[in-house]
Structure 1
């Protein structure tokens, strides 16, 4: 039987948890500030856009508040400030994300990195097949079914995709199987639009079916080792990846 904690122990645990939350919050703020400084140096339009959005929204809220008058005016002004700051922050997040994808595009491991950052209930298995030239096929399980995402030279990736679809079709039955090639050519999906493309696919199966599919496909294994691809497309990617997640949380 577990011993009950004394009031002193409970207090110490609460203080420790509070300190951990403060440290995590400070780390996120520092990370965001560093990312903002990096983006500001690279993107000369960032500050003008953020300032313009903030001033415009605050100005509109003040004008509307003055026109309405009374107590509503005193509510609209702080509301406008908060809303203006939020829109400016969203502009920063969007432009920072766009900049990261632009740098990552065309680099080895970029698609695997993008899939690892997907929002929602996606089950990603990177590099289920690959060539010696770092062409790779990644498997994604989601509500649409099974999706294979290939990155690399199309003439080498397409045969890999066909092989994986054939292997998988034997196990999944009537579950839809999709294939995507990352790139900017005809019939290809740009890296920056990959998540949007996946989200547009129809929902064909339930989350419970996703679990069952994942168990079945684990048996297939992969044709390559875990070190077949680099962890991410950019040396400083870990920082920006954390920033993206922080922006989404807010």
Structure 2
């Protein structure tokens, strides 16, 4: 049993190291300044810890503990820096690609958020697309494409939603993803969604999902097979990182 436990720990450690190497390679390919940022994030806390030992004339034990703390803080900051810059590279790679919004939003796992990968509406000619998601904040309509066209299409979807939620005050948020004045950039989309105030209880959210599922069954304009997206709009962030 002890040997199996050691083997499991070793596998997890190797797996973590392998993942970090992949994330570093993925990020460094697009961000050549990454090593400098990682070095600064790690060494600045360590240098500060060493300097504090000399300034405040700590004893050897206190000085060693302070340096160890500096190393731990530096490691944490370096990990955070790597994650953030890797995310930035991922967003840049996905930006403008069909389905990027869905790839970002399906990663949300808090406050009951649910964003399916398949769009609820697509314009066959322009490839403008709309995704509908739910959360305890309300209903979200996320659009990709020309702002004026996508807002008109989302307004039609909003009317359909109002028909099945009539009599309630459930908020419906319409968000157009892009770089226009009234649009939300891809890298800010997740934060924009999460920051909305909670309006529904868990029970109310389940009732809302049931009504929207009923609505979806009625909407046969696209005639999509279940679980499929014929326009291939899904973009996987893990795939972009080489995982």
Same fold (TM over 0.5): yes
Residues of 1 paired with 2:127 and 2:10: CA distance?
42
**1:66 Cα deviation after fit:** 3.1
Mapped to 1, the partners of 2:18 and 2:64 lie a distance apart of 33
TM-score by length of 1: 0.82
Contact conserved, 2:98 with 2:233, CA < 8 A, in 1? no
**Count of matched residue pairs:** 229
Paired residue for 1:41? 29
Q: Is contact 1:111–1:191 with CA below 8 Å preserved after alignment? A: yes
**Residue in 1 that maps onto 2:213:** 218
TM (norm. structure 2) is 0.84
For 1:220 and 1:204, locate their aligned partners in 2 and report how far apart those are by CA, in whole Å: 21
Q: 1:33/1:188 Cα in 2 relative to 1: closer, same or farther (>3 Å)?
A: same
Superposition deviation, residue 119 in structure 1: 4.1
Gaps of 5+ in 1: 1-10, 243-250
d(CA) in 2 for partners of 1:155 and 1:18?
A: 59
Query: 2: distance between equivalents of 1:24 and 1:67?
Result: 40
Tell me if the contact between 2:28 and 2:34 (Cα under 8 Å) persists in the aligned partners.
yes
- In the alignment, which residue of structure 2 is the partner of 1:103? 93
Q: Is the 8 A contact 1:62 1:77 kept in 2?
A: yes
Q: Runs ≥4 in structure 1, deviation > 6 angstroms?
A: none
Q: 1:239 to 1:22 in 2, by over 3 A?
A: farther
Matches of 1:108 and 1:138, distance apart in 2: 12
CA distance in 1, matches of 2:36, 2:231: 39
More helix by share: 1
Change (3 A) 1:19 1:159: farther
Question: Residue deviations 1:152-210, cap 9 Å, x none?
Answer: 22233222211111111112232111100001102110110001111221221122321
Q: Which runs of 5+ in 2 are unaligned?
A: none
Partner of 1:246: none
